[in-house]
Structure formats: C-alpha cells, structure tokens
C-alpha cells in the first residue's frame, strides 16, 4: 500500500493539530512566564494580562505570556510608624524603623484611564499607572486603602461607571496610622476617601470596634456584585467575644451599591455541608457564574478534606431578606456588636418591606446552607473559577499539590459537579485560576503563571 503525496500532507496537518504528549499525558500548555516573586493578583485586559507581585508589576501578552514590561515597585524605604510620605512618625525612635521594605501588591484593576494598583508599603496607598507604560505613574495618593501587611487580606472591586471602589481590608496592629482605616468601605476613585467620610449622619464605611480587634480578625476572601448589591466573602470567628483561635465560620457581607451611609450593611453565615452534615467551614476561594455562587471550602483544620459548594444567588438574596424581615418583626437584635450595631430590633411589621430593601441591615442568625457539589478526601482545593461555555457551566479548581481538576455541572439546577479531566500544572499550590476565554485559562503556581487549554 502506498500513500499519495496529498495523503501524506493531510496526515502531517492532522498530527500537527494534536496536542503534545509529555510523560504519557496530554500537555495543555500554551504559554508560561517566570516572575521574580510570588504573584498575588491577575488582571486581564483584552490582549494584555497584568500581574501584581511582591515588588513587581508585569504586563504580558495575554495569549503567550511573553513579557511586555516589568516594573520594580519595591523594596522601598518605609515604616509602619510613619505616614505615607515619611514626613511624620510616631514615637521617639520611629525614624530608626524606616528600612527597605518589600511591597506586596494588594489591589490591581484596569480603569479606562490607567492601571489602578495598591501595595502594602506607605500605609497601603495607591497609584494610577499608564496602561501603555506601567512604569509611568499618572497619579499618586497618600490615602491608606489596602492592608499594609502581607499577612492581612484585601479584596476589592471597581465600578468604573460610578467611579467607586468597594474595598475591604483586615485590620493590622503595627501602625497607629491604621486606626481610622475602615474594615469595609465604598471610596470615590478621584480622591479615594470613603463617601461621606466623617459625617455625623453616617459614612459609606464600617469599622470593627477597637475592643474587639485583637481577637476578632476578619479574613476577606472575595468580592463580587449581584444585581444592585456588593458582597464580600469572609472567614471570621463565629462569636465576637471568643478568642482568636475559636471556631471559624464563612460569612457574606452585603451592602447596596448606592448606599452612602451603609444602613444596608448586613452579614449572614453560609455553610457548605457534606452528606453526613459535616460543615466545611473555611472558604478558600470563590467565583460566580450563571447566577450561581461557587466556593471552595476546607474543614476547620484545613489539612485533609475539602469540597465545592454551589449556592444559588437567588437563595442568597432570600436568606438576607429572611433575616432582615425577622428583625423587622421585632425578633432578637441587630446582631453586629463588632461594628457597634446590636440594638434591639423594633417591631415594624405593619410597614411594607420589599425583598430588595436597602433600608435595614442585620447580622442574621438564619444561615444559607448547601450540600457539597463534590467532596474530596485527602485532597485540598485552593483556587476556583467558573464559566458558562456552550450552555454548560464549567468549573476549574486547583489544589495544594499543583493539580488542576476540570468539572462540569450536572444540569444547571442540580448543584452537583462531575470531574472529567485532571492534570498537573506545578509542584506547589495553585493560588489562582482565571478563565481567559471559553477555551483557555490561567493557572498561578507560586511565581509561575501559565495559560492552558481547557479539556473538552
């Protein structure tokens, strides 16, 4: 049997389209990059992807991850005992604490007018940099916004249309200049101050009261928008008066996006339950797709088991409403002593209350509970993202062993997942998964981002 020249050309073309095989496994690698330090934030903007890392900002080609520009942002001279400009310090020997300090990126957003970025140095202040040349600083600010410690969390989202920044940050104790920084706030982009800052009528901010800060530490994991609400997902102590090592819970914080006095500020607990009713109470990563809130949870120890739970956002909204309505009927208290709101609920059941109300906020006792969509034993999930592709919800999760698991939702209403692909992307924990499109995604492992094809 002989092959014609045209047959040979067709065979070569066919083979060239097959994905490469490495060590018996299909390699889905499209491109990769090696950062000089750990990567904390990823921002995709058309054909460019921006990375925020320790002491560096990068702009890369979004398809190949080839380097466009790298800019050093640290170390810089800094001290937690001094203001952002280092012109004023508190303490007799405070000037001696000004040393070269690493700058960990905490906030990274693309705006129409530039790249908005905040780091841990200079009290967590921010800059606006040129999109075409990230080395060029367009605007500086001296307002503390992000956490000023690598060990303190910061999550945020931006509404470019209304020019607002919604941000939450964990309180740190090493600086007297951080005392007035809100835990959760809505800031104006043009000056980065909280809306109505200092107003006696109320400001768009809440502060954890000083007497609770040492033992009531809130870790902010994710921020997102749904309808006219802004949400932050947190891990915190179940009870305000308990010790720092007491039992933790996962909560959702919610405010109305146009609430300039934060009267709508509310909190509810969310629970990810196993089939035997065990609670995976520690949220590690979260995303949303197609009206669903998808979270990766671990058990209390965070050493063995993990699960993915899928909450309907409609159910989340209703749970907030049930708690608000319960307080409206005069039951219990506001329930948020850590922010100074714990007065007795007043019976106003004779007044109408819309489900989308922004007129009352509570720390409700009714939780949103969900059975795990998939559960893993002796495997820890660390990151997740989801996307609707051709009418099907795809979920990609990363593990602490550098693995990637690809799953699809079994029916759009079942809240169950089925794994259909698994491969290794690195030797360390996967810290972030970000869909780049329907067919590719980014996986961040330590200081190495890679772009890979989605398994079909």
Q: Residue 332: left if φ>0, alpha if ψ -120 to 50, beta else—which one?
A: left
The Cα 352–Cα 326 span in angstroms is 13
The Cα 291–Cα 315 span in angstroms is 10
Q: Cis omega before residue 6 (within 30°)?
A: no
Longest CA span, the chain: 92
The full length of the chain comes to 456
| Residue pointed to by tokens 């009267």 | 263
The tens-digit pLDDT sequence of the chain (456 residues) is: 445 555 544 444 444 334 444 444 456 899 999 999 999 999 999 899 999 999 999 999 999 999 999 999 999 999 999 999 999 999 888 888 999 999 999 999 999 999 999 999 999 999 999 999 999 999 999 999 999 999 999 999 999 899 999 999 999 877 888 899 999 999 999 999 999 998 989 999 999 999 998 889 999 999 999 999 999 999 999 988 776 668 899 999 999 999 999 999 999 999 999 989 999 999 999 999 999 999 999 987 766 799 999 999 999 999 999 999 999 999 989 999 999 999 999 999 888 889 899 999 999 899 999 999 999 988 899 999 999 999 899 999 999 999 999 999 987 666 899 999 999 999 999 999 999 999 999 999 999 999 999 987
Helices (H) and strands (E) in the chain, counts: 2, 34
Closest to 418 in 3D by CA, of 261, 268, 300, 310: 310
Pairing of strands 368-371, 266-273: parallel
Q: What is the pTM assigned to this prediction?
A: 0.92
Look at domain 36-207 and name its CATH class: mainly beta
The contacts of residue 221 (CB under 8 Å, 6+ apart) are: 153, 155, 233, 234, 235, 283, 284, 285, 286
Radius of gyration of the chain (CA): 24
Residue ranges per structural domain of the chain = 36-207, 230-378, 382-456
């Amino acid at each position: 049997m002989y092959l014609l020249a045209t047959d040979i050309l067709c065979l070569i073309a066919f083979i060239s389209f097959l994905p490469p095989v490495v060590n018996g496994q299909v390699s889905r690698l499209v491109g990769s990059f090696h950062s000089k330090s750990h990567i904390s934030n990823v921002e995709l903007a058309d054909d460019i992807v921006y990375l925020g890392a320790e002491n560096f900002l990068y702009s890369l080609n979004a398809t190949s991850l080839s380097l466009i520009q790298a800019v050093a942002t640290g170390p810089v001279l800094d001290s937690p005992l001094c203001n952002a400009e280092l012109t004023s310090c508190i303490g007799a020997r405070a000037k001696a604490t000004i040393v070269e300090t690493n700058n960990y990126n905490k906030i990274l957003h693309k705006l129409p007018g530039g790249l908005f970025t905040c780091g841990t140095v200079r009290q967590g202040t921010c800059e606006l940099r040129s999109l075409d040349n990230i080395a060029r600083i367009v605007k500086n600010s001296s307002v503390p916004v992000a956490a000023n410690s690598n060990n303190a969390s910061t999550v945020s989202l931006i509404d470019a249309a209304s020019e607002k920044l919604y941000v939450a940050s964990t309180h740190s104790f090493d600086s007297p200049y951080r005392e007035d920084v809100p835990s959760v706030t809505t800031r104006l982009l043009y000056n980065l101050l909280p809306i109505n800052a200092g107003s006696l009528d109320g400001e768009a901010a809440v502060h954890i009261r000083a007497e609770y800060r040492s033992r009531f530490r809130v870790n902010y994991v994710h921020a997102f928008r749904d309808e006219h609400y802004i949400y932050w997902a947190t891990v915190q102590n179940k009870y305000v008066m308990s010790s720092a090592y007491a039992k933790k819970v996962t909560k959702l914080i919610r405010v109305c996006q146009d609430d300039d006095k934060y009267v709508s500020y509310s909190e509810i607990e969310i629970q990810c339950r196993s089939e035997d009713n065990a609670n995976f109470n520690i949220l590690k990563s979260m995303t949303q797709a197609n009206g669903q809130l998808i979270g990766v949870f671990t058990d209390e120890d965070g050493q063995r088991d993990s699960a993915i739970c899928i909450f309907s956002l409609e159910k989340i909204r209703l749970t907030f409403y049930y708690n608000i309505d319960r307080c409206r009927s005069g039951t219990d208290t506001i329930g948020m002593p850590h922010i100074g709101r714990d007065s007795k609920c007043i019976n106003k059941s004779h007044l109408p209350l819309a489900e989308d109300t922004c007129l009352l906020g509570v720390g409700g006792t009714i939780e949103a509970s969900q059975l795990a969509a998939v559960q893993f034993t002796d495997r820890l999930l660390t990151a997740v993202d989801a996307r609707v592709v051709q009418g099907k919800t795809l979920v990609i999760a990363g593990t602490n062993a550098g693995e990637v698991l690809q799953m699809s939702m079994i029916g759009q209403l079942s809240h169950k997942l089925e794994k259909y692909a698994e491969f290794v992307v690195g030797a360390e924990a996967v810290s972030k998964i970000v869909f780049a499109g329907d067919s590719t995604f980014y996986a961040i492992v330590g200081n190495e981002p890679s772009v890979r094809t989605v398994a079909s």
